Amino acid sequence: MSAAPHQTAVSPRSEILRVENLQTEFHTSAGVVRAVRDVSFSVFPGETLGIVGESGCGKSVTMASILRLLPDTGRVVGGSVFFNGADISKYNDVRMEAIRGNLVGMIFQDPMTSLNPVYSVGEQLIEHLVKHKGITRKAARVKAVDMLAMVGIDNPSERLKSFPHQFSGGMRQRVMVAIALITDPLLLIADEPTTALDVTIQAQILELMKRLKAELETAAILITHDLGVVADTCDRVLVMYGGKIVEQGRVGDIFYRPQHPYTQGLLGSVPNPKAPVRERLVPIPGQPPDLLSPPKGCPFVPRCRYAMAVCSDHMPDSYPVADGHKSACWLQHPRAPRADRAAAGVTR
Amino acid sequence: MLRMTIRIVVSTVLTLWTIATITFVLMHSIPGSPFTRIDDEFGPMIQAMMEERYGLNDPLHVQYGRYLANLVRGDLGFSLTRPGLRANAIIARTFPPSARLGLMAIALSFTTGILLGVTAAVNQGKMADKIALFFATLGITTPNFVFATLFIYVFGVHLRWFPVMGIDTPAHYVLPLVALSIGTVAFVSRLTRSSVLDVIRQDFIRTARAKGLTRQSVLYKHVLRNAIIPVITVLGPVLATTLTGSFVIESIFAIPGLGNQLVNAVSNRDYTMIMAMTLFFSFILVLGNMLVDILYSVVDPRITLHNTNK
Amino acid sequence: MYEPDSPTIDPAAQTDDWPLPGDPTILFLPMGTDVAMLERIDRESMSFWQDSWRRLRKNKLALTGGVFVILFTLIAIFGPMLTRYNPNSQQLRLTNQGPSATHWFGTDQFGRDLFTRVVYGIRISLIVAYVSTVFSVAIGVTYGTVSAVLGGQVDNVMMRIVDIMMGIPSLLYLILLIVVLGPGLWSIIAAFALTGWLGMARMVRAEVLSLKNREFVLASRALGTRMRTIAARHLVPNALGTIIVLATLSIPGAIFAEAFLSYIGLGITAPQASLGVLASDASDTFMTFPHQLLFPALAISLIILFFNFLGDGLRDALDPKMKK
């Protein structure tokens, strides 16, 4: 199938992906976990969007919801997803399959377990290529050799016959990158692609992804909890907390002018090697909210040092701070104390 | 691959030798000579003659050496209660029906078991899963002679659907086959179910789904191929269970097979026959396990390559 | 980092609409946070056994299994008090009776009360299963621990021996052993113990080997404790979970094997009768008196079922690898 779903609802800047009011729930024995609560965002051609947050904040579930790769207990209960102009949230399984692995490539966290141990790397590289592009296995194999070479694997035509356990972790992640990009997708979703890797390998994989993304002109979503990775690779950032987007903006906005107390806290808990004096790392006290019974107001209230009476009962709107920079915090409200806005600039 | 095969063969030979030795020691630790039991029939004179003829008066190590030499030549000795008959002849006559029944039972166990297990797994928590669980529980907790007796009563005597004695026609095989495999079907289906559920949760299945493969392709190509590996490892134990199960089933359905012979030998205290048949059965099981080991390394690429890399 | 200045309200903002209920001047006052409360750990800490018990308690199937296992064990111990009949006294006028108020499960071909015989059968079968399991656990734990603690070449040789013996079909050697020892309660127990310890030895060795290099053992060794003491005080108690699970799951196997042996005529000898003997005797007369098979067979199935429930539950509760 080729990359041209019917064009509806095209926005002026023609996003690749637009998510509107996405809501996802998990039905567990303990009750309903509201993992994604009313999330909206867009991805534009060629850009890299970072999604950051602590584990359990809903960032991975958001991505799984978009492609409907949720486990059986999970269900998207609301919102729409426009991909390349078409509302794919109503697509059936067969139509979704034509998008997954074809127009959207995915890379996962743990390369040691993300490849099927009983099939050769070559088989895993070409099976979806053959399915989506309708080419012969022979042609697919030629393309697979090229792709392996592109991701930096030596002797690619031999390595095609190897099994995953014959590769190191870093090499396997390169293979995963090759699998995700072999179909020339419009969008690459990388879910913590470097978390499970050694630090030196992490840098290599990030470099590789950056280079290939530029060569193939693919848009990308990078999910991570590593702010260093975000600063290095992303154009824009969404900060998620408690199943909601609490702040979003360009990388510079988020790193130099963070508005939301949670974002400020995240940045405060990361060491900054460039700091002129040795600064103290400040952890954010407390635990993320229990999404079995999500708080009525702002999810960050119990841990927020600026919490106000209004915060615990009312979820704040997302207030524009600057062009493309928004923060979902009552401190942005005109009635709120002014302290934050004056102070935010000096945080970093 | 070669080193791996050599290792498997060496360990098989070692196991066979251990089995032969244990059998020898056990049979010679029976108080008195094997002929003591039947001295009433033959009298002390004949007993002495028999002992002389079979070399039972020689020193133990001589007997042991001769015994091993005979085994290597494939000579399993003689029957005590039927002194004219060689054990080899009895086995040659009774092995074919047993082998037929046993192989069919194993084939049935694995095909039905895997089918039921996969069905239960993909319908986890639904009606099909619960029905499969009920029958599996029944199969696992009930001794096979109870099933056999029940089947004869219901399908043989009451409904008259199937014949119940002997193995003259294909219809004769139905009841013994089902009675013999019902326990292993249950076992294999539970194992398959948990194995499939385990594989479905793996990261690489999420990868396969993220690649846009169809539901069928994910299940049959990616899940099943991995889920089958632990199921193959129980081929050895299932072979053993089927074999010992056949003792009971063959004697209930009056099948002129090897298992029936063993039960007869036990009730007649025909020590030499028991010994010969134990050795023969062990030999089959050990060879079966060897084949399973080799098959296992074919199915799971990690095994072979891991070992050749060493 | 910075401290918030004292709240200064923007006078221009006072004029906007306030859509939410409540007085906006109060709503925007800081609440302050209680850091000590945030770092509070909500769950109390639990020992391994408390934690396992909590998980076992939540597993209904395992709990049912446990209750019935205890019930069957109580029947085995106190069963004779439940009946006024002697399991072996024959009433030849009352042979092959169906179930009735006087004979709950009916009588057998010699007029013996079937309920009484089943109760005694449970007793014999459970004695065989429990005692042989205790012996095979003792042998297996000792062998496995010694092998793991000594390590090196000794461990290698000891485990090769186990490997080879694992290759020997145990049920066949059970037959051979019982033929040699002569049928009877103790030879069956001995035969089960001699064939049942292998799996236990292998599992215990693996468990002890992984424990051997853990910090608390290394600490103990650094303090100069002898390895034998360490094994008794640290290694075996920590492998107890695995041992309990294996022991529980080996009981159904013993009961099944005993029933099999009974059927081929190598079971418990008269006057004692196990469930296996009762069931195999009754299968001869099943066509005319099906109830004689029903009750002992049901007892066998239920005992195996409940031990499996309990064993599976214990495995889920005690195996840290399954822990979420």
Q: Which domains does chain C have, with CATH numbers?
A: 101-322 (1.10.3720.10)
> Distance of alpha carbon A316 from its chain centroid, rounded?
23
The pTM of this model reads 0.80
B142 and B256 fall within a common domain: yes
Q: Does B278 sit within 8 Å of C175, measured CB to CB?
A: yes
CATH number at residue B232: 1.10.3720.10
Residues of A in contact with C4 (CB under 8 A): 305-306, 337, 339-340, 343
Q: Check if the beta carbon of residue A315 is closer than 8 Å to that of residue A34.
A: no
pLDDT digits (tens, 9 = 90+) for A56-90: 788 889 999 999 988 888 899 989 999 988 899 88
Cβ within 8 Å of residue B82, ≥6 positions away: B270
- Position C42 scores a pLDDT of 52
B104 and B30 fall within a common domain: no
State residue C108 phi and psi, 5-degree precision: -100, -170
What mean pLDDT is predicted for residues B281-308?
Answer: 74
Q: What are the strands, taking DSSP E only, across A84-218?
A: 86-87, 104-107, 187-191
B150 and B261 fall within a common domain: yes
State the best of C162, C168, C309 to mutate against chain B, taking most chain B CBs within 10 Å: C168
- Position A340 scores a pLDDT of 47
- Position C54 scores a pLDDT of 79
- Position C10 scores a pLDDT of 47
B106 and B245 fall within a common domain: yes
Listed by number, the residues of chain B in 160-219 with a beta carbon closer than 8 Å to a beta carbon of chain C are none
- Position C45 scores a pLDDT of 63
- Position C187 scores a pLDDT of 86
- For residue A244, the number of C-alpha atoms closer than 13 Å in the C-beta half-sphere is 26
Interchain contact B267–C (C-beta under 8 A): yes
pLDDT digits (tens, 9 = 90+) for A181-191: 999 999 999 99
- Position A13 scores a pLDDT of 58
Q: What percent of chain A has pLDDT over 90?
A: 36
Q: C164 CA to chain B: closest CA distance, Å?
A: 5
Of B269, B284, B301, which closes a domain?
A: B269
Higher pLDDT, B269 or A18: A18
What mean pLDDT is predicted for residues A291-312?
Answer: 79
Q: Is B86 inside a domain boundary?
A: no
**Domain residue spans of chain A:** 1-87+186-290, 111-182
Interchain contact B265–C (C-beta under 8 A): no
B8 and B144 fall within a common domain: no
Interchain contact B202–A (C-beta under 8 A): yes
B25 and B130 fall within a common domain: no
User: Residue A343: pLDDT band by 50, 70, 90 thresholds?
Assistant: very low
Residue A286 has pLDDT above 90, yes or no: no
d(CA B274, CA B261): 9
B212 and B112 fall within a common domain: yes
B147 and B216 fall within a common domain: yes
- Position A41 scores a pLDDT of 92
Element (H, E) at A327: strand A325-327
Q: Check if the beta carbon of residue A193 is closer than 8 Å to that of residue A234.
A: no
- Position A277 scores a pLDDT of 60
Closest CA to C123 of C267, C272, C240, C1: C272
B143 and B234 fall within a common domain: yes
- Position A146 scores a pLDDT of 92
Element (H, E) at A22: strand A17-28
Q: A229 CA to chain B: closest CA distance, Å?
A: 23
Cα distances (Å, whole numbers) of residue C55 to A71, C60, C319: 24, 10, 11
Q: Which two tokens stand for residue A207?
A: 């470099």
- Position A236 scores a pLDDT of 93
Q: Which two tokens stand for residue A291?
A: 């999404």
Q: Does C172 sit within 8 Å of B282, measured CB to CB?
A: yes
What mean pLDDT is predicted for residues B156-182?
Answer: 83
**Domain membership of residue B122 as a residue range:** 94-269
Q: Does C33 sit within 8 Å of A302, measured CB to CB?
A: yes
Q: Which residues of chain C have pLDDT under 70?
A: 1-26, 30-46, 103, 319-324
B111 and B251 fall within a common domain: yes
B67 and B107 fall within a common domain: no
User: Residue A178: pLDDT band by 50, 70, 90 thresholds?
Assistant: very high
Q: Does C38 sit within 8 Å of A309, measured CB to CB?
A: no
Mean per-residue pLDDT over chain A, rounded: 84
B114 and B213 fall within a common domain: yes
Interchain contact B305–C (C-beta under 8 A): no
Higher pLDDT, C170 or B51: C170
Residue A248 has pLDDT above 80, yes or no: yes
Total structural domains within chain B: 2
What mean pLDDT is predicted for residues B53-75?
Answer: 81
Q: What are the strands, taking DSSP E only, across B120-277?
A: none
With CA atoms as reference, the chain B residue closest to C166 would be B15
User: Per CATH, the architecture of A1-87+186-290 is what?
Assistant: 3-Layer(aba) Sandwich (3.40)
Q: B120 CA to chain A: closest CA distance, Å?
A: 15
